[in-house]
Chains A and B, each alone.
Chain A
Amino acid sequence: MQKDFLEHGLNSNRRRFLSRLSLGLGSAALGSLLVPDLFSGDSSDSGLAPGIPHFAPKAKRVIYLFQNGAPSQLELFDYKPRLREMMGQDLPSSIRGNQRLTGMTANQTAFPMVGSFANFQQHGESRNWISDLLPYTSKVVDDICVIRSLHTEAINHDPALTFFQTGAQQGNRPSMGSWLSYGLGSENKNLPSFTVLLSRGKGNSQGVYSKLWSSGFLESIHQGVQFSSGDDPVLYLKDPDGMNKYERRKFLDQVSQLNQLSYEQFGDPEISTKIQQYEMAYRMQTAVPEIMDLSKEPDDIIKLYGTDAMTPGTFAANCLLARKLSENGVRFVQLYHQGWDHHGNLPNEIASQAKDVDQASAALITDLKQRGLLDETLVIWGGEFGRTNYSQGKWTADNYGRDHHPRCFSIWMAGGGIKPGISYGETDEFGYNVVKDPVHVHDFQATILNRLGLNHEKLIYKHLGRRYRLTDVSGKVINDILV
């Protein structure tokens, strides 16, 4: 951005003009040697034109069901009978190694291991172990790929969440949805290509905030747009009282002319972005109400997603909305469900949280599948890190808490070119360390981009003299889980 400003100033500078003239052809020829694509033209002369995948994509869209607060893998996906046998025994320090602990358990004198209060069963043809807390997910187990070996670098919510979403812990970088919007462009020009839906369960929650769906240094057209429940799903989208469609159009035309003038004067690319955004908002005025209206969804769809789907703002209603948005060409639908931070009273809270999300998550898979859309939609379910195999504070067999654990946790992915009905990666019998096929957050991100036809090493944006990637300077595509 800074660069664009500067260059605009230089565009009308005489010295620059003359020096250009003299270097002219030579530099152009040299430039084409250095940057082979120099003359292949900009794929998008407007920010709204579609970007094009680097190679043929398997998935066209993503729905990310982010479980904010970090659900315990040990109660949901990672079956560790050994922990029950060793209930209450201190975790061997050889297993714990030099793991940095949070301030909440760093001062504990003992680390009593606790097994899951919930039972596990094997399900489907894949015989994957899934907790009894997730009866609906168990039924779609042959459609999902459970990764049990994810690991991250952060041990607290904000950095971990930011790391997952932007590839860096400190923030200020574009969110994954923004990167996809940048790399693939929008599919439906009447809707933003990156939308965000929030819901909250009864468990202990952690905040979500708009920096998580910020476009960072990318053009603001790639920013996530939050859709909320209620009368005004997208803020400031409605015409004010007393303004009709015709007047709105006239107003937009005038404003656009003014903006165009000021763009010519200052050359700030954000001005042209703004013009486009006004225009898209205008079209969204028709598109959004249609999408937000769930009353026209047939009864059996509501039954599929569960009772909550009738109540706006719940996870189930958001899942249903996510399907509608995705079906309408929104590249990245980001859901956040709060309430998974179970430092204490875990069994009660996780049971209620699981109940909030289980049916709708599974329903989303079924629903996409029956529309032939699961093949081209990547669905992801998971939190920002895992939880410890030992109890935080006092414990009993049916009431305990778990602290943050970055070394291993489980997520699942489905559709969009991910092998269905498999599990990937293993943790040790204590559920503390990854023993097979570790997946770093950057590997996970590289894999998502790969499924969308993007090479994570080539999806680059230059900012302040540095080239940035979602996967920063690492990341390996997990080939073993690809179709």
Chain B
Amino acid sequence: MKSKLNAYAVSVIFCLNVLIVFLLIFEQQLVIPQWVQPIGRMHPILLHFPIALLILAAGMEFFRFKSENAATSFYQDFTSGLFLSGILLSGITVLMGLILSLEDGYDGDALLFHKWFGVSTVFLSSLLFKIRDFAWYKEIIAKSGSVALALILIVAGHFGSVLTHGDNFVLEPITTPVLVPLEQAKVYDHVIQPILQEKCVSCHNDQKLKGSLKLTDSLSILKGGKTGKLFIAGKPNLSLLLERIHLPSSEKKHMPPSGKPQLTEEESRLLFLWIKDNASFSKKVTDLAQNDSLRVLAASRFKPTEIEDEEFDFAAADDKTIKKLNTFYRLVAPVSQGSPALAVSFFSKNGFDSKSLDELTAIKDQIVSLRLSRMPVKDTDLNKISQFESLQNLDLNFTDITGSGLKELSGLKSLKSLSLSGTKVNLAQVKPIVSLKSLEELTIWNTSFSEKDIQELKKLNKKIKILTGYKDDGNSPIQLTQPLLNNSSRVFKDQTKIELTHPRQDVSIRYTLDGTEPDSLTSPIFNNNLIIKSNSTIKAKAYKKGWLSSGVSTFGFLKTSIKPDRIKIMFESDQYHKAMGANSLIDGQLGDFDTNNSNWLGYQGNNLEVLLEFNTVRIIQNIALNTLISPNGFDNRFPYGYSFPPTSIQVFAGTDKDNLKLIGTMNPVMPNKTSIQEIKSIYTTFKPQSVSYIKIIAKPLKKLPEWHPTKGKPALLMVDEILIN
């Protein structure tokens, strides 16, 4: 039974070999009927079996003559069985493969190699099987035969995989393509040629001049092929190259031939745009306009212009060390993720002492940037800095160095930028540093360097950029701001010391108390010793050499010698001007023209009616309401253009709360159309009275006068303080 089966198998193998030879010879003449095609297409499924079986068979054949194997009949039978089934299947596989190869789209070197190695596998294995039982078949033949079979099989398999998966399928993920940075990229060399290389050159090269066309170099491309020139520069629509690419894939002339890797849409678009752009062989990608389609498409193929992190030849410092060196006042951080280079900055004088730099010795090789601006760095510290050999940027602005230690730094061969603004360094001290070839930038604002010095420095180092910054030449003085008042209140009881200040130092403030504008010659200089005892208006101006004098500031001081112990208001003020309630009227805080602040009480319609109470009997002789008067319409800055004085003020007083007498009346003068905005104290005077209660009734104007833009409407009475003397 078994030998019968064997015999069948051997004859089938023989037939298969004959068939294969037949197919190989008449390959060109054969037309494969359509129904056979599926058989051909099963080639990729079946092929794995013979590979496994034959490799195993070859392996066993290799050790066949080893004594223990030679004696085992199972080993012998099994090997023979493996061979038989392997050859059978490989024969069928090859037949299928040959049928498949007759279909459209299989061509090229890989196919050729695959075909012949595949066929050889069948022939060689058949031959081996045929001769392996002859007497002269010795160990040496078995070994060399099986090795040869395995090799041929592997090569055949390899080319098969190239056909289906393409070249370099296995290693592709780990081979990094060389990307050209965008700035250097040329349109032809780095965009067009790679496309041709990938999709066309396998058939249009020196060896395989299909259609007499070669696409390997610019000359051959310009020459074209059998059918003519490839393209007309600038006219992609008339160009043969694109015509062939865009033919339907069923057409025989469609390129690349069907079955071959096709051009992607982007690739054919790139070819189109390149020809449209006159098919230049030398143009750089960056020569194209920023929004040119060719550039936009091409740009994605290049390395993006990302900052290339500088490579350093030192190792990274220990993370723990770095962490330890970070304090609230000192930052030690890698320049970027994964970079061994460190940047160190100091931020507070209090956190800096001479040890601060010593501690950095642990990372001396890694420091590339050191910021010591405003730290009390001494000349002796520069010696410590000189051991940071990788240092590129050093900021010594406003440090205490005098320059004598600068020469220590001349060993810093990587130093690129040095900042010495606001230090006492001089020309001779800086020279050795400037001579450093690496130095590109020197900042020396606010130092003693003259224009001549700078020229001299520039001679030492041609590429150096010297930053000197702004220096006041005195030709364009600017104006000082007005003096400011520091007093917490402008209302005083007996006397007050006036406190004028200015945000600049060494400014002299001159003032007047008589209402005239201060001048720089006759007006007294304010010296922090000015005391006033009665209502006063101080006008002040600031002066300083090299500056324009300031504008005038005006501050009114009001005396109120008697302060009530309690205050009550009879009617609520209007909703927009409530200040801090009734107390605002006796709190010593005055309002200004910005009525949004919380010092003004406003009355419109209602009377201002106030009751003041004293714990002990007081003698009074006048009472004043400090009011805002702003009668003239609306204006962006002063929207309260309907603030008028009251039409009348009545003062009642006495020692009995329920029996107050009218002791004084005042009818203020009404402003007119030309009146300016002012803050004014309106006094009501009377004979000195002993009082423990005072009641004030002030009536706001009921109707704005005819000339007012909102005539007929009620006016606003604005009061910020009541003064009692």
Contact = CB atoms under 8 A, between A and B. Distances in A.
A187 B337 contact: no
Given A286-B350, A303-B472, A310-B504, 16 more contacts: A50-B331, A52-B337, A54-B337, A56-B336, A57-B335, A190-B347, A295-B505, A299-B504, A303-B477, A303-B478, A304-B472, A370-B443, A371-B469, A372-B441, A437-B291, A453-B336
30 contacts: A50-B326, A54-B336, A56-B310, A56-B335, A56-B341, A58-B307, A185-B333, A187-B331, A187-B347, A189-B328, A286-B348, A287-B348, A302-B478, A303-B476, A310-B481, A311-B503, A328-B347, A329-B347, A366-B469, A367-B469, A370-B445, A370-B467, A371-B373, A372-B395, A372-B419, A372-B443, A450-B307, A453-B336, A477-B305, A479-B182
A372 B417 contact: yes
A219 B19 CA distance: 77
Contacts of A49: 326
Contact of A295 (B310, B337, B503): B503
- A: interface residue count bin: 35 or more
Given A310-B504, A482-B305, A53 B472 contact: no
Interface string A330-362: 000000000000000000000000000000000
A310 B310 contact: no
B419 A371 contact: yes
B534 to A, nearest CB: 30
A53 B441 CA distance: 24
B268 interface: no
B307 A56 contact: yes
B334 interface: yes
A371 B420 CA distance: 8
A310 B502 CA distance: 9
B469 A369 contact: yes
B339 interface: yes
B290 A436 contact: yes
B306 interface: yes
Nearest to B443: A372
A368 B334 CA distance: 24
Contacts of A142: none
Contacts of B547: 299, 303
Contacts of A307: 478-481
A370 B470 contact: yes
B17 interface: no
A52 B468 CA distance: 32
Contacts of B339: 56
Contacts of A55: 306-307, 309, 336-337
Contacts of B477: 303
Secondary structure dominating the interface of A = loop
A303 B446 CA distance: 14
Interface in A155-207: 185, 187-190
Interface string A263-287: 0000000000000000000010011
B334 A52 contact: yes
Contact of A299 (B333, B336, B395, B546): B546
Q: Which 6 residue pairs spanning A and B have beta carbons closest together?
A: A370-B469, A370-B445, A372-B419, A372-B443, A300-B472, A310-B481
Interface in B465-502: 467-472, 476-481
Given A190-B328, A436-B291, A371 B472 contact: no
B305 A479 contact: yes
Interface in A292-313: 294-295, 299-300, 302-304, 306-307, 310-312
A295 B501 CA distance: 12
A437 B476 CA distance: 40
Interface in A403-459: 436-437, 450, 453, 455
B421 A283 contact: no
B686 interface: no
Contacts of B305: 477, 479, 482
Interface string B330-370: 01011111010100010110100000000000000000000
Residue among A307, A312, A455 with the highest chain B CB neighbour number at 10 A: A307
Interface in A48-69: 49-50, 52-58
A300 B328 CA distance: 32
A54 B395 CA distance: 24
A479 B299 CA distance: 12
Contacts of B304: 477, 479
A33 to B, nearest CB: 15
B604 interface: no
B201 to A, nearest CB: 32
A480 interface: yes
A153 B289 CA distance: 25
A437 B290 contact: yes
A132 interface: no
Contacts of B468: 370
A372 B307 contact: no
A375 B417 contact: yes
Contacts of B467: 369-370, 372
A376 to B, nearest CB: 8
Nearest to A363: B470
B397 interface: yes
A125 to B, nearest CB: 15
B336 A57 contact: yes
Contacts of B137: none
B310 A371 contact: no
A283 B470 contact: no
B634 interface: no
Contact of A50 (B333, B421, B476): B333
B329 interface: yes
Contacts of A303: 472, 476-478, 547
Contacts of A187: 331, 345, 347
A307 B441 CA distance: 31
Interface in A454-483: 455, 477, 479-480, 482
Contacts of A363: 470
Interface string B402-422: 000000000000000101010
A54 B306 CA distance: 11
A437 B296 CA distance: 12
A477 B307 CA distance: 12
A337 to B, nearest CB: 19
Contacts of B395: 372
A350 to B, nearest CB: 16
Contacts of B503: 294-295, 310-312
Given A370-B421, A372-B419, A329 B309 contact: no
Interface string B530-561: 00000000000000001100000000000000
Contacts of B334: 52
A371 B481 contact: no
A55 B307 CA distance: 7
Nearest to A370: B469
A394 B179 CA distance: 58
A278 to B, nearest CB: 14
Nearest to A43: B337
Interface string A94-115: 0000000000000000000000
B325 to A, nearest CB: 12
B386 to A, nearest CB: 20
Contacts of A189: 328-329, 331, 347
Nearest to A328: B347
Contacts of A311: 481, 503
Contacts of B335: 53, 56-57
A286 B347 CA distance: 12
Contacts of A294: 503
B397 A372 contact: yes
Residue among A295, A371, A450, A455 with the highest chain B CB neighbour number at 10 A: A371
Given A54-B337, A55-B336, A367-B470, A302 B419 contact: no
Contact of B472 (A299, A310, A453): A299
Nearest to B337: A52
Contact of B309 (A56, A450, A477): A56
Given A307-B481, A310-B480, A329 B471 contact: no
B326 to A, nearest CB: 8
